[in-house]
Amino acid sequence: MKILIVGGGGREHALAWKLGRDDPQSEIFAAPGNPGMASIAHCVPIGPGRLEELAAFAETERIDLTVVGPEGPLEAGIVNLFQSRGLPIFGPTREAARIETSKRFAKELMTHAGVPTARATYHTEQTEARRLLADFGAPVVVKASGLAAGKGVVVAQSIAEAEDAIDAMLGDRVFGEGGGEILIEEFMEGEELSLFVITDGERAIPLLAAQDHKRLLDGDFGPNTGGMGAYAPTSIATPELVRQVMREIIEPTLGAMRDEGYPFTGLLYAGLMVTPDGPKVVEYNCRFGDPETEALMPLMDSSLLELIASVAGGGSLARSRPPDWKRLAAVTTVVAADGYPEKPRSGDVIRLPEAPDDVHVFHAGTGLSSSGELVTAGGRVLAITAVAGGLLEAAEQSREYAEEVSFKGKQLRGDIGWRELTRGARIT
């Protein structure tokens, strides 16, 4: 089987690793890939935004399955293009991808479908947005409606901080077109949870729930990022809670998408807040999350490839069963570049120690210098996933290896999984 993975980050590296294990005879291509992926895939110098070139490559190479990692190509319509040429691809169409690419679309869809989520208002003008802050009070959430590389959310602890966020998004356009419209949203108390489901548009199969750590610094302080680490499983995602999420959130959402005429197929990522009133949607993503994917893939004991291939070919999940998971814990620590998330620096030489068998080093933002040295080439540079019999052991192994990684100005959190560890839950 020939597989093309679109993208070149840690998520794509983890997917390539997993799909290669599911079918060791497969031939995997990555566009553009990264130096870490080069040992398991053929890296092709085609960026994820060059849709016509990607389609031409898939046709020429007779690719059996294309898997899209980042959200940008989905927003641009890569699935529409591939489907028009009869090329099997895993992901939603441009229209269905709006569930991530337009937070207003997603919020209105959820409200219409009765999906529990936070109350929100929508704004394109600073003065009006500032005026309506009084209706929410503080803390309050300010979100860019469009894509912002996972950084377009500010949880403001004061009205003044919220006003600064409004001015930055609508006035200074710090997120470009993605922040041309914003949402002001009520703050939800609770604990966040990430749940991925694979869906053919009607049926949905949940994967193992995980928890992401968005803030840059230990203890969940500092600026918002694309994710500084993740762990799985988590004790708050009980079987009863997952069934409730599927019944009250996922199924109504998929039904609403079908009613809109844009059925969602692919990987739907529900970012949830587990509140005292039950789970509510913080946001939806239309693709595998990062860094949760890096934590989940080493725990998945059955085939991801079979599920993806069924959906990509326009087929049904009717005969598919939920995946099996190892009775282990995984912790992913992200090692980020100097200056991340505002102005990450590139070009710093990376030194990687030899990794033990239970530690996986997924490259997220790496490149090669003119002399062939491994260097930083993105904000999040590496995702270090350790797998162990318990969460504490996995957290220690992930942190210890991450601390041994060497490059100038590296940043990492040393407390991934801290909520679970504080609860004293033993996850095995």
| For the chain, percent of residues with pLDDT exceeding 90 | 85
Q: What CATH number was assigned to the domain covering residues 125-180? A: 3.30.1490.20
Asked whether residue 237 carries a pLDDT value surpassing 90, the answer given is: yes
Q: Is the pLDDT of residue 25 over 50?
A: yes
Residue 253 confidence class, pLDDT cut points 50, 70, 90: very high
Q: What is the pLDDT of residue 428?
A: 47
Distance between CA 250 and CA 235 in Å, rounded?
Answer: 20
Average pLDDT of the segment spanning 197-205? 97
Tokens (6 digits) for 352? 């990687």
pLDDT tens digits, one per residue of 123-175: 998 988 898 888 888 899 998 888 876 668 888 899 999 899 999 999 889 88
For residue 4, pLDDT beyond 70: yes
CATH 3.40.50.20 fits 2-93, yes or no: yes
> DSSP letters of 311-325?
HHTT---TT--PPPB
Residue carrying the six token digits 């997917």: 15
Listed by start position, the domains of the chain span: 2-93, 125-180, 191-423
Would you say residue 393 has pLDDT above 90?
yes
Tokens of 133: 């802050």
Q: In what order do the strands lie in the sheet with 42-43?
A: 42-43, 27-32, 2-7, 65-68, 89-90
Adjacent-strand bridge partners of 278: 275
Q: Report, as an integer, the average pLDDT of 282-288.
A: 96
10-22 vs 304-312: helix crossing angle, rounded to 10? 100
Structural element, H or E, at residue 195 = strand 191-199
Annotate 373-401 with b (16+ C-beta within 10 A) or e (fewer). Answer: ebbbbbbbbbbbbbbbeebbbbbebbbbb
Provide the pLDDT for residue 134: 82
Of 368, 378, 349, nearest to 9 by C-alpha is 378
Please say if the pLDDT value at position 270 is more than 80: yes
Tell me the pLDDT of the chain averaged across its residues.
95
**Cα(first)–Cα(last) distance of the chain, in Å?**
34
Structure tokens at 119: 């109350």
Q: Is the CB of residue 303 less than 8 Å from the CB of residue 324?
A: no
Question: What pLDDT is attached to residue 150?
Answer: 64
Mean of the pLDDT values across residues 296-301? 98
Q: Which two tokens stand for residue 426?
A: 């033993």
The separation between CA 69 and the C-alpha centre of its own chain, rounded to angstroms, equals 9
Q: CA triplet 197, 202, 208: central angle to 5 degrees?
A: 15
| Crossing angle between the packed helical segments 103-113 and 251-260, to the nearest 10 degrees | 110
pLDDT tier, 179 (very low <50, low <70, confident <90, very high otherwise)? confident
DSSP string over 203-256: -EEE---BEE--EEETTTEEEE-S-SEEEE--TTS-HHHHHHHIIIIIHHHHHH
Q: What is the pLDDT of residue 425?
A: 56
Average pLDDT over residues 369-389: 97
Fold for 191-423, please state it.
D-amino Acid Aminotransferase; Chain A, domain 1 (3.30.470)
182-186 sheet: strands from edge to edge: 120-123, 182-186, 140-144, 153-156
Residue 426 has pLDDT above 70, yes or no: no
Q: Do 366 and 35 form a contact (C-beta atoms < 8 A)?
A: yes
Asked if 54 and 6 touch (Cβ cutoff 8 Å), the reply is: yes
